[in-house]
Structure 1
Amino acid sequence: MAGDGPRSVDDPAVTRIEVPVDTRAPGGTTNAYLLDRVLVDPASRTDALDAALAERGSADAAGPSIDAIAVTHAHPDHVGAVADYAALTDATVVAREGHADRFAAAAGVAPDETVAPGETVGDTGVRVVDAPGHAPDHVGFAVGGPEAGEPSTRSALCCGDLAVAEGSVAVAAPEGDLSAYLASLERVRDAGYDRLLPGHGPAIDDPTAVCDRLIDHRLARERDVIAAIDGGAADLDAVVDGAYAKDLSGVRDLALATVAAHVEKLVAEGRVDEAWRARLADHGLD
């Protein structure tokens, strides 16, 4: 097992562990986090993650080092070691309410409990935050700050694939929902967190600026999609060609699914012809 060593993220109750995993995200890693006594997004089992759990320890040497295991969303590069660490720690496995079957299918283990946005994870101070868009079951996990009764600590949101410090996040059909994604970015921006802890890459120290950048990026891509359709593009491949100026070698499938998500939003808003629904279905992206 391999992986970078644990990295403290200012607050001693928050530890980030970069976990090597099969992902298309830059860097080839997913960030697992220890938030209070909750393990979030254990993408694979590594020595570094084992060590971080051991360092947390327990008042009772025979007791578990964590109380719960949760994920921001049930994509393969976030759930790969849920079952392993559930067996190792005997921690309570937690899934988002309404998505237990999706969680079990991805993680290989059924959740012990479900939680809804606005609730806390078990008896910890970790709060569940609604953040769909990248995936329908997507949530964030918030710690610290006045809302947690800790006015002397900075508030942080473990935000999964809602945001990244650099680049952009894939919001891809058929399960990506751009309207929900943009609304989630706006809610998180307006909530006033001091720091965002993303699923990939470094921490985000200016949440407002990054959320605004990601919103602007999506709206700019939307304008490109509309321009391509208005310019005569008659199918998704033609829209992709018109909406992207860069070389799409190796990522064209992702660009196609992203454009499909944009078209779904535009159809729902009545801004492009309803006939595009059938064109999405032709690609299995409706």
Structure 2
Amino acid sequence: MSEAPFRTAAPTMATVKLLRAPNPGPMTLTGTNTYAFSGNQGASWTIVDPGPAIPEHLDQITDLGRIDQVLITHRHADHTESIDNLHTRTGVPVRAFLKEYCREAATLQDGEVIATSDTEIKVIHTPGHTSDSVCFILDFADRTRAKVFTGDTILGEGTTILDFPDGSLSSYLGSLDRLAALPHATLLPGHGPAGAQLGGVVRFYQDHRADRLAQITGALERLGVDATDPQALDVVTNSVYRSTPEHLKRAARSSVEAQLHYLTEQSR
């Protein structure tokens, strides 16, 4: 798959390239997005999410030239599978929120600013999709030109799943609130097209979650079951997601489970 450049707003800002892995599917959309960014006009690069262990994709990354380090948005295999292959080939440090995905480097910290490839990038912890999910803000000093690598916290199309119980709705809603503070930033998602304005997508996600919660609540009332009822997960999933294709039912079930847990928390 050919390399797709992402043009930045001004020549003084960091350069970003999108390298899409050839692993399309129902959960990965057109494939996992690996990003490379540079503040020195491509003399060296920092990688965000090296992606799946597909040789041609790994070649795309190493063909860029000098790599300074690798940053990970979250633990899922389609974003992390090639960590060891890339680390072996380049020897560069790999940083993630969880220690087991780091290589010769410290874990990422919320609010940390990383100096790399002659630019700086800010880390924000955005749990919800998974507990270790982080986003990275590039060119964060200028909110109108900032670019945000969101991993699977926000996608380029459609909506993301909550990998319950590791991910949770209460955490996710808080993460959306944090991202809403960057309404004019450019969205660089882990799957799907890049380039949308972040604020509009965040509002869409917030509205979607509110609508889903209303559907779940309505289904509980209609079916005469409580969120804590052992049968609630099955009957609500079958009711709300009855037209969902079979290969997406597991994701739908996880989403319902997360929302039932959230409603139970809210009722305490």
Q: If the length of structure 1 is used for normalisation, what is the TM-score?
A: 0.79
Give 1:43 deviation, angstroms.
1.1
1:136 pairs with one of 106, 117, 131: 131
Identify unmatched segments of 5+ residues in structure 1: 58-64, 105-109, 272-286
Q: Distance in 1 between matches of 2:267 and 2:4?
A: 47
Q: Distance in 1 between matches of 2:260 and 2:19?
A: 37
Question: CA, structure 1 residues 53+120, in 2 after alignment: closer, same or farther (shift >3 Å)?
Answer: farther
Partner of 2:114: 121
Q: Distance in 1 between matches of 2:104 and 2:236?
A: 41
**Match status 1:13 vs 2:15:** yes
1:173-207, Cα deviation, whole Å (9 max, x unpaired): 12121111111112112223420100001014221
Q: Distance in 1 between matches of 2:94 and 2:57?
A: 21
Give 1:237 deviation, angstroms.
0.9
Q: More displaced, 176-185 or 74-83?
A: 176-185
Q: If the length of structure 2 is used for normalisation, what is the TM-score?
A: 0.84
1:184 pairs with one of 171, 175, 189: 175
Q: Which consecutive segments of 4 or more residues in structure 1 shift more than 4 A? A: none
CA contact (8 A) 2:183 2:200 kept: no
Give 1:145 deviation, angstroms.
4.6
**Match status 1:38 vs 2:33:** no
CA contact (8 A) 1:21 1:43 kept: no
CA contact (8 A) 1:68 1:91 kept: yes
AA in 2 matched with 1:227: G
Identity of aligned residues (%): 29
Q: Distance in 2 between matches of 1:121 and 1:89?
A: 20
Partner of 2:255: 258
1:110-150, Cα deviation, whole Å (9 max, x unpaired): 45222202112354512212211100000011111535xxx
**Residues paired across the two proteins, number:** 248
AA in 2 matched with 1:42: P
CA contact (8 A) 1:115 1:121 kept: no
CA RMSD of aligned residues (A): 2.2
